């Protein structure tokens, strides 16, 4: 099967690599074209523009940073819309909001193509290991056609129905994740400032009812002050922002998430946006130090 792949950031590179390893013929494009070379070394071919990729491939997957990138790659000059049409499918796996998915869906359908949104839960390592959780919605026929590729990329795919539902599910999940990361940061700070060992706190957490892979993976690195980006903080803040907007639309009060969003915004303002989202710990630590008598 031949697929196109647009966007070779942390996630896209791992996902396209996985497809190549499983025998897919992959044509890649990235805004910074030089980043395609690593994939070429693994057997990919390069499309000079998103339109060129879509012209060549029946199915094209995108994995881009945010709504503005997702829209630009579709609607701008040399974009997806110039070549999408009958018999072609476009699958956007980026984390965006439902309105962005609807705009893309309508435009692709108007050209005779099919669209599936399919954001993923799981970070760099699950992407490398083909262990993502895929949250798809939109054209069911295209979804069914993509199942073999989704099986390479992920451990489980959910088809959630009408367009927008994948985006909404992803935002709810990441809203919870961002709040949990803030809560862990506060707990580590509180343990430290009150004379306890933060490492012992991690050991205790890992044995109890709130043990989870995120605390286990990120906790020790946070104590080392090591924030090599798996999930960039700027993307987590984008997800909190979009989840809060979904809360606004539905009149759902989310004070915990709003507070977490403020901490991520503060981290961005301090220049931590390109670090892992666990770097919000630096903000929480700083806040507790400045509060000292
Ligand atoms: N990292 C993670 O753990 C996870 C991330 N996600 C989501 O997946 C998506 C990608 O994340 P990730 O790979 O980490 O992000 P990166 O920041 O590593 O990569 C972003 C990609 O988007 C491209 N891009 C950005 N702006 C534009 C634009 N205006 N036009 C065209 N291309 C653009 C970048 O191109 P260039 O190289 O030129 O900058 C790059 O290919 C995001 O929506 C994120 O929220 C979902 C699950 C996990
Ligand atoms: O979106 C990030 C993730 O880890 O999932």
Q: Is 231 in the pocket of ligand 2 (CB under 6 A)?
A: yes
Q: Is 123 in the pocket of ligand 2 (CB under 6 A)?
A: yes
Nearest Cα to Cα of residue 117 among 171, 55, 162, 54: 162
Residue nearest to atom 35 of ligand 1 (CA): 31
Give me the active site residues, please.
Answer: 170
pTM of the model: 0.97
Q: Tell me, in angstroms, the distance from the centre of ligand 2 to residue 230's CA.
A: 9
Q: What are phi and psi of 164, to 5 degrees?
A: 105, -25
CATH number of 2-162: 3.40.50.720
Q: Is 257 in the pocket of ligand 2 (CB under 6 A)?
A: no
Q: Which ligand is nearest to the CA of 94?
A: 1
State pLDDT tens for residues 47-98: 999 999 999 999 999 999 999 999 999 999 999 999 999 999 999 999 999 9
Q: Tell me, in angstroms, the distance from the centre of ligand 2 to residue 88's CA.
A: 28
36-37-41-43 Cα dihedral, nearest 10 degrees: 30
Nearest 5°: the CA angle 24, 27, 32 is 135
State pLDDT tens for residues 120-165: 999 999 999 999 999 999 999 999 999 999 999 999 999 999 999 9
- At 5, which helix (H) or strand (E)? strand 2-6
Among 4, 9, 229, residue to substitute to test ligand 1 (most atoms within 8 Å of Cβ): 9
**ipTM value:** 0.99
CATH number of 168-290: 1.10.1040.10
Q: Is 277 in the pocket of ligand 2 (CB under 6 A)?
A: no
State pLDDT tens for residues 275-284: 999 999 999 9
Residue 223 has pLDDT above 60, yes or no: yes
Q: Where are the domains of the chain?
A: 2-162, 168-290
Joined together, the tokens standing for residue 5 give 């792949």
Q: Is 241 in the pocket of ligand 1 (CB under 6 A)?
A: no
Q: Which residue has the higher pLDDT, 289 or 1?
A: 1
The minimum-distance atom of ligand 1 relative to the CA of 229 is: 1
Does residue 3 sit in helix, strand or coil?
strand
The minimum-distance atom of ligand 1 relative to the CA of 66 is: 43
């Amino acid at each position: 099967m031949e697929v196109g792949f647009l966007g070779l950031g942390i996630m896209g590179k791992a996902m396209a690599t996985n497809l190549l390893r499983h025998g897919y013929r992959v044509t890649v494009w990235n805004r910074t074209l030089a980043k395609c070379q690593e994939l070429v070394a693994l057997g990919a071919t390069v499309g000079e523009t998103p339109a060129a990729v879509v012209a060549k491939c029946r199915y094209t997957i995108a994995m881009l940073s945010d709504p503005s990138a997702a829209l630009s790659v579709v609607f701008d000059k040399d974009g997806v819309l110039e070549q999408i049409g009958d018999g072609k499918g476009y699958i956007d796996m980026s984390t965006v909001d439902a309105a962005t998915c609807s705009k893309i869906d309508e435009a692709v359908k108007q050209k005779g193509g099919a669209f599936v949104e399919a954001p993923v839960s799981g970070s760099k390592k699950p992407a490398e290991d083909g262990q993502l959780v895929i949250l798809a919605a939109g054209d069911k026929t295209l979804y069914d056609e993509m199942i073999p590729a989704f099986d390479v990329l992920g451990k489980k795919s959910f088809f959630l129905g009408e367009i927008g539902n994948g985006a909404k599910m992803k935002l709810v999940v990441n809203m919870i994740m961002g709040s949990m990361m803030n809560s862990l940061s506060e707990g580590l700070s509180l343990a430290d400032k009150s004379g306890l060992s933060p490492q012992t706190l991690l050991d205790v957490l890992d044995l109890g009812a709130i043990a989870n892979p995120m605390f286990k993976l990120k906790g020790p690195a946070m104590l080392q002050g090591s924030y090599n980006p798996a999930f960039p903080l700027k993307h987590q803040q984008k997800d909190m922002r979009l989840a809060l907007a979904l809360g606004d639309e539905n009149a759902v009060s989310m004070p915990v998430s709003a507070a977490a969003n403020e901490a991520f915004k503060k981290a961005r303002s301090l220049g931590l946006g390109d670090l892992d989202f666990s770097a919000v710990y630096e903000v929480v630590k700083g806040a507790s130090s400045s509060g000292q008598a």
